[in-house]
Structure 1
Amino acid sequence: MIRSFSVFLFIALAFSGFSQDPFKRGMYKSLDEIRYNSPSSPLEYPVLESTKRFGEAFDRKESTYYRLSIKNKKSREIGPIIGFSDGNTLYLATTEVSAGEGSMFSPADRLNDSIYVFEHYYYEFGFELLGNLMSGGSQIFLPSASKVQSFYVINLNGTINKLTVEYMTKLLSKNDELAYEFEKERSKEGLLLLYLMKLLDDGEN
């Protein structure tokens, strides 16, 4: 618990060390528009909050997401967007989505001039054990889908990737010392942001 708290304290302090010029108010249709702080559509709609629940019944968690109050007809006229800014905070999706009320966006934190991180949810599909046909008989499985929350890394040079152990291992392949250190960690999933910060601190982009 102490180590986990220290990791998030380190990350919070690291975020505060980067100067962040406000993104212009508006809707952004591409990573290039975000990179050049040049939204192509004005933001003239209320920003609404929505709460999403995650995890199992015994370990339920909640996160706040944001959406725009835009009717379907108007959202079709606007076209797909990747995010929007209210003039203070940049909100992002993991890909280009409709600007309508059904799309959820997350606030992003800037790590440097081209790297940002944000949390977003996705559906994890699998099979859930329903029970047995009879004692000692075949088991019955039904398809299931659950909401899972994960960090995403956005590089304004053109990519958005889910922050996973596999992706972090790939990033660290350019830094032998950090790669070796990360390989020895037991709870890698809880240290992904920390190692991303270490990598950027070493000058990687």
Structure 2
Amino acid sequence: MYSIEEIRENYKWFSDSKIETIARNESKGLRKEVLRILKEEIEKRNLDKRLITWVNAETNALTDFEKQTLIRKIENLKCPYCGLKENKLIGQEFNTIVSVILFCIDTTENRILCSKCGRNKKIKSFLINVLAGWWSRRGFFLTPYTLIKDTINLFYKKKINDRIIAEFIEQNNGMFRLHGTDDQTLFGLISWHNNNYEIPEAD
């Protein structure tokens, strides 16, 4: 493990873009002493002060009570797929395989949605796998494995739900600290999560 002085010296030689990347994406895993060095570098270089605000928010972890409260709020939101509030939202995993001779695309999606929309999406994934998963060498072996895995996963719905919701909360800790956990914010973040955190392009 590097000493604090060695880390401080290393950070001095990092480019501005490297410091910004660490602040935006890696601050959560840093020790408190290293966080101080990171914030000092941001200030010394006159980088965007909002980076420090983000680092503080991202590293201010939610308490267990806050997480449990958040889970209950997520469950009772309207579904980002159908827009209805008839069923509780749950985290579900969807595995899809499309293969044609020389290539095979294996996709795993973790989504937060209502049970009805989840069931429809499961059926769609199943049909795609059965009809389009076999047509390459890799797909020929991967498709039956995926179908078996999806069948087994039916017995672990709660475990999968808990994992996906926990990952969502952990990934958005900083956003919750900065923007709160009202229904509109949560709905927007879940929709963003379901879109693989891609920013939609404006027309």
TM-score range, shorter-chain basis? under 0.3
Q: Greater share of helix residues, 1 or 2?
A: 2
TM-score, normalisation: structure 2:
0.26
Higher RCO by CA contacts (8 Å cutoff, separation 6 or greater): 2
TM-score, normalisation: structure 1:
0.26
